[in-house]
Amino acid sequence: MKAYKCTTQAEKDFLKTYDASQFERPSVTADIVILTLDSSDELNILLIKRGGFPYKDYWAIPGGFLEAGKESIDEAAARELRTETNIDNVYLKQLYTFGNPNRDPRTTVVSVAYTALVPKHKLDIKAGDDASDAKLFRIKYDVNGMIFSNEEETITEDELAFDHEEIIKMAITRLRNRIDYEDDAFNLLRDKNEFTISELKRIHETIKNRTLDLPNFRKTFLRDYVATGKVIDLNKTMVAKGKPARLYKYIER
> By the criterion CB under 8 A, which residues form the site for a second copy?
1-4, 6, 10-11, 14-15, 18, 20, 23-28, 52-56, 65-74, 76, 94, 96-97, 99-108, 110, 112, 158, 162-163, 166
Residue 245: name its binding partner from a second copy, DNA, none (Cβ under 5 to 8 Å by kind).
DNA
Q: Which is nearer to a second copy, 93 or 246 (CB)?
A: 93
What angle do helix axes 197-208 and 164-178 make, rounded to 10 degrees?
130
Question: Which amino acid, 188?
Answer: L
Which option in DNA, a second copy, none does residue 220 bind, with CB closer than 5 to 8 A by kind? Answer: DNA
Q: Are 97 and 132 in contact (CB under 8 A)?
A: no
CA distances for 14 relative to 19, 21, 45, angstroms: 9, 15, 48
DSSP class of 102: T
Q: Give the Cα separation of 47 and 34 in Å (integer).
A: 8
Among 52, 54, 145, 244, binds DNA (CB under 7 A): 244
The option from DNA, a second copy, none interacting with 198 (CB < 5 to 8 A, set by class) reads DNA
Between 185 and 214, how does the x/- string for binding to DNA read (CB under 7 A)? -----------xxx--------------xx
Question: Nearest 5°: CA angle at 109, between 3 and 48?
Answer: 105
Least separation in angstroms between residue 37's CB and DNA is 16
Which helix (H) or strand (E) segment holds residue 149: the answer is strand 145-149
Q: Does 234 bind DNA (CB under 7 A)?
A: no
d(CA 139, CA 40): 12
Tell which one of 220, 227, 228, 252 touches DNA (CB under 7 A): 220
